[in-house]
Chain A
């Protein structure tokens, strides 16, 4: 009898392609994505983007820059001639994870000999600052080989300068408020969108689609609701972050509202497109769970993207998570004006509208077979 039950289970599994994929293929794919993301986050494959301004223009500073450019963990392949302000701007914008300004120590009144080094960083990317500081310390450490030391003139004075936010802790809170909000925005949007397939299974679509309200009416109505639900959902998270951790939500209500509306529209549109592309609720939920976890992993909702390998960082730019986090970063860390949010908000709204258009197209299948 046990064998009979075993046989039923086996045949049920073998004949259910969805269950087979869910059981054996998707976990392996998941493992690859998460292993890549989290292995990178542990520092093994980390490669931080470094912006350098060499104001000392000395042989020592040139050697230091050349040595830094040769390190595996640092990507300093950007523009060679940057000013200190350009370095600060890049770090503030997030196009560099950390910056280094090399000054002539004498010029800045330092007691140290040689160059004075300023590590410019964003508190939320403290790992990148620490990594650079560690590399600089290693270069100036006594060594058996004199050639191994770039700072042959003695250890340079190293200062730290933050270009965004008031504290690292607060910026982490703002970052993760956005990260968690977008993750759950996607889950809630899919949960809401799936009601379309529930309504089909319940026969409600038979009744509704026979009347003057077509499939587009249903999709549009659900889209509006999901956007409103998303805005409230994200608001709850940020209000908690404001009340418990002190992030400055009241001071950024307008840009936050725009970014949240755009992120909610993106989540609603994409969720509806995904659900209307599926034929059963189970299929939609399985696919959505996998898609959301992967989007969130590579989009920065679990681990900041700068900790990921370059390929994943590039792929992350295709996710709504990355653009929502970019918008929230600009608002809460970099305190940028509303006008500077045009790109992330535009991309999020575009994704939402594209998703809505696709959902309307896919929903025609529901209208007439």
Chain B
């Protein structure tokens, strides 16, 4: 589908946080991969003690951006600063950054305790004091009693928590996480949310790339919506919803049969924009159910088969959909 049919993207990206408390800043970041602009001018800033959720569909550029921040993807233009320094050139900047990849980046044949010890050393934690940090980390994720178990013997949720805490042993200022709850059950997901709130409480600035809108809604102080390699909307979840919909509701029309050209023209004339499947159309609804009923009648009169009409309060998902034209996969 054509995302521009929903709403025009702003010409200028949202301003970065200039408060001076940003522990992670990305400015004008661009990177072309082949003919595809994987990162097309990203600006964002994560403040100390803030969770910033980066939302975007597959291919939106989340992983490329995270790889650029972690120094594994060079930028064609723009800059990345961790604690005000360039992590590609400055060892201290890299010490201030923690990375939690989407995969379980752990050694399965080692115990939980051994993994933390290894990653602590590789992150530059001095030998003296490392043991205490490892024990604190195990305690924090509820694995003190399982510290000597091999990672392969831990449950999926435990492995995920260990994966996160392994990126924090060196007490970074900024922590970058890629889909930290993928593949875990609700209980494990909740424990990971608690852990991330704990880390935020320690003053760590967290950049969280996720598909999980509910996670972004309950965890994030701010959300950035990434589409076609750039951040097209940014703000607190509630602010984003209010900015996009105000007091309006959201109307979703599902067709029983695909509309022909004249039908599509009518739908567009009625202010509806198609989703990727071409059968579902959406618009803001300012005047409630009466407006929806009148619109439904006009569509039926024009010969369009309407399978269902749904009116609901807008959510973060509605905002993402509005900006990107795509629904995020769960």
| Residues of chain A having any CB pair with chain B under 8 Å | 202-213, 217, 367-369
Contacts and interface: CB of A to CB of B under 8 A. Distances in A.
Given A206-B70, A206-B101, A212-B124, 12 more contacts: A202-B104, A203-B102, A204-B101, A207-B100, A207-B119, A207-B166, A207-B167, A210-B97, A211-B99, A367-B72, A368-B72, A369-B73
Given A202-B105, A203-B105, A204-B105, A210 B71 contact: yes
Interface in B95-128: 95, 97-107, 119, 122-124
B67 A206 contact: yes
B162 to A, nearest CB: 12
Interface in B215-262: none
A222 to B, nearest CB: 13
Contacts of B102: 203
B94 A207 contact: no
| B interface, over-half SS | loop
Given A202-B103, A203-B102, A369-B67, A210 B94 contact: yes
B170 interface: yes
A261 B74 CA distance: 39
B87 interface: yes
B74 A211 contact: no
Nearest to B95: A212
A58 B71 CA distance: 80
Nearest to B115: A204
8 contacts: A204-B101, A204-B105, A206-B70, A210-B71, A210-B87, A212-B91, A217-B122, A368-B72
A69 to B, nearest CB: 62
Contacts of A208: 119, 122
B153 to A, nearest CB: 17
A205 B97 CA distance: 14
B85 interface: no
Nearest to B74: A368
Given A368-B73, A368-B88, A369-B74, A213 B99 contact: no
Contacts of A205: 72
B95 A207 contact: no
A294 to B, nearest CB: 32
A207 B102 CA distance: 10
A211 B122 CA distance: 7
Given A212-B123, A217-B122, A207 B105 contact: yes
Contact of B124 (A206, A213, A369): A213
B163 to A, nearest CB: 9
Given A368-B88, A369-B73, A211 B123 contact: yes
Q: Which has the most chain B C-beta neighbours within 10 Å: A204, A211, A368, A369?
A: A211
6 tightest Cβ-Cβ pairs between the two chains A and B: A203-B101, A203-B103, A210-B70, A203-B105, A210-B99, A206-B101
Nearest to B69: A210
A210 B95 CA distance: 8
A357 B330 CA distance: 45
Given A217-B122, A368-B88, A209 B71 contact: yes
Nearest to A209: B72
B293 to A, nearest CB: 52
A363 to B, nearest CB: 12
Nearest to B90: A212
A221 to B, nearest CB: 9
Contacts of B74: 368-369
A328 to B, nearest CB: 34
Contacts of A210: 70-72, 87, 94, 97-99, 176
A368 B72 CA distance: 4
A206 B122 contact: no
Interface in B24-69: 67
Q: Which has the most chain B C-beta neighbours within 10 Å: A205, A207, A213?
A: A207
B263 to A, nearest CB: 40
Contacts of A203: 101-105
Nearest to A368: B74
Contacts of A212: 91, 94-95, 123-124
A213 B98 CA distance: 12
B99 A206 contact: yes
Contacts of A206: 67, 70, 72, 99, 101, 105
Nearest to A218: B122
A211 B100 contact: no
Nearest to B71: A210
A367 B89 CA distance: 13
A204 B72 CA distance: 12
Contacts of A369: 67, 72-74
A205 B123 CA distance: 12
Contacts of B105: 202-204, 206-207
A91 B67 CA distance: 61
Given A202-B104, A203-B102, A204-B105, A211 B73 contact: no
A206 B179 CA distance: 14
Contacts of B70: 206, 209-210
A42 B61 CA distance: 62
Contacts of B97: 210-211
